[in-house]
Amino acid sequence: MTPQDLETVSPAGHYIALRIGFAFPMKEINALPTPWVEHYTRNSLMLFDPIMRWAHTNTGMAAWSSLRDDDRRGVLGMAAAFGLRFGLVAAVFDGNADGQRSFASFCRADREFTALESQLLLAYLTRCHDEMLPPKTLTGAELEALAMVNDGKRLKQIAFDLGVTEGAVKQRLKNAKTKLRAKTSTEAAALARQFQLI
């Protein structure tokens, strides 16, 4: 499944939060209808949302319809009024003491998700979660160069500060970009910061 496939499988919208740390996800994709997002935010519905409660305490997947008994404030009914009548919540967790959680909510206006669609959406979330796992192969030298890029230093200054050639710095940054799947050194430094590697 690709991001483009989500529009077909989940035509009413979706929300994905990847690798939630202390309070915020490393990456967030909110493709829910703007009027619903505004209503949800304005009325602080996250505090009462059975979908969010399920996503923070479970793994796997659940249809929204199975959460109605836990919806004392009628959040699911409000969502339906905005065209989000059927939904699926999915969550994955690393399962260790330092583990991070990712979750997603997928929506339709016309029908429940099929078993196959549900499995594909959970597999998609799991793949996105795994792809955001910080690499463990970055060397100290690569991290040092990334930290300097993060501080706004230019190649020549980094080389001078480290006492190495510009070519050596370029190689370190090239290796770091490959390991972090980044296109630029600035992007690699930002990812390393997000992963709390620098």
pLDDT tens digits, residue range 162-178?
Answer: 999 999 999 999 999 99
CA dihedral angle for residue 45, residue 124, residue 30, residue 95, rounded to 10 degrees? 50
Residue-level pLDDT at 96? 66
Please give the average per-residue pLDDT across 6-14, as a whole number. Answer: 94
Identify the CA nearest to 59 among candidates 25, 27, 102: 102
Residues 6+ apart with CB under 8 A from 70: 50, 53, 54
Identify the CA nearest to 11 among candidates 110, 79, 117, 114: 110
Q: Which helix (H) or strand (E) is 171 found in, with range?
A: helix 166-180
What gap in Å lies between CA 87 and CA 110, rounded to an integer? 10
pLDDT, one tens digit per residue, over 57-103 is 999 999 999 999 999 999 999 999 999 999 999 999 987 666 789 99
Q: How confident is the model at residue 124 (pLDDT cuts 50, 70, 90)?
A: very high
Q: For residue 70, give the 3-state DSSP assignment.
A: helix
pTM to 2 decimal places: 0.76
Residue-level pLDDT at 194? 77
